Structures are given as C-alpha cells and as structure tokens.
Amino acid sequence: MPYVFSMTARMATITACCVLLLCVLLFLLGVEIGARYASPPAADVPATASGGPVVSERTPLPASSGAAASVAPASNAS
C-alpha cells in the first residue's frame, strides 16, 4: 500500500517557519563565534603561576587610622 504525500498549506507554513528559525539560530551562532574570535586573547590578562587571577596584596592600615579613631570621644563636661 503506497503512501501518498501531499504538501498542504499548513505543512508548507510549518516548513517555512522551521527553515526561518534554523536560519536565525545559525546567524546567532555565527555572531557568538565571531565575538569570541574577535575578542582579545586570554594571554593579555595577567595571571599567577598557578593560572589563577592576580590578587593584589593590601597593606594593613595603621592602628590610628581605623574606624575607632574617626569617632569623636564623648565629652564628660557636666
């Protein structure tokens, strides 16, 4: 028993939508690949010997410039 395939208007619309969606997705994929291709290489970013990001060492603040030193002492003038 042979199968008769007929291309109805509904099938043509579904096919056209799928083809359009495929083209849009391929275009967006190309944009993403192009953005990664055009971005600067990762070698420009400084890194430590272990491959991690560079963390700057902060010097500790002197004891006189802490938060407690900026608070004015309470006056006991009664």
Higher-confidence position of 14 and 50: 14
pLDDT score recorded for residue 3: 86
By residue range, what is the domain housing residue 29?
9-37
Number of domains in the chain: 1
Higher-confidence position of 78 and 5: 5
Q: Which residues pair with 47 in a beta bridge?
A: 53
Has residue 22 been placed in a domain? yes
pLDDT score recorded for residue 34: 93
pLDDT score recorded for residue 19: 98
Q: Going by C-beta distance under 8 Å and a sequence separation of 6 or more, which residues neighbour residue 17?
A: none
Q: Going by C-beta distance under 8 Å and a sequence separation of 6 or more, which residues neighbour residue 54?
A: 46, 47, 48
pTM: 0.46
Q: What is the DSSP letter of 49?
A: T
pLDDT digits (tens, 9 = 90+) for 20-63: 999 999 999 999 999 998 887 666 555 556 666 666 667 666 66
Has residue 32 been placed in a domain? yes
C-alpha angle with apex 56: 66 to 58, nearest 5 degrees? 15
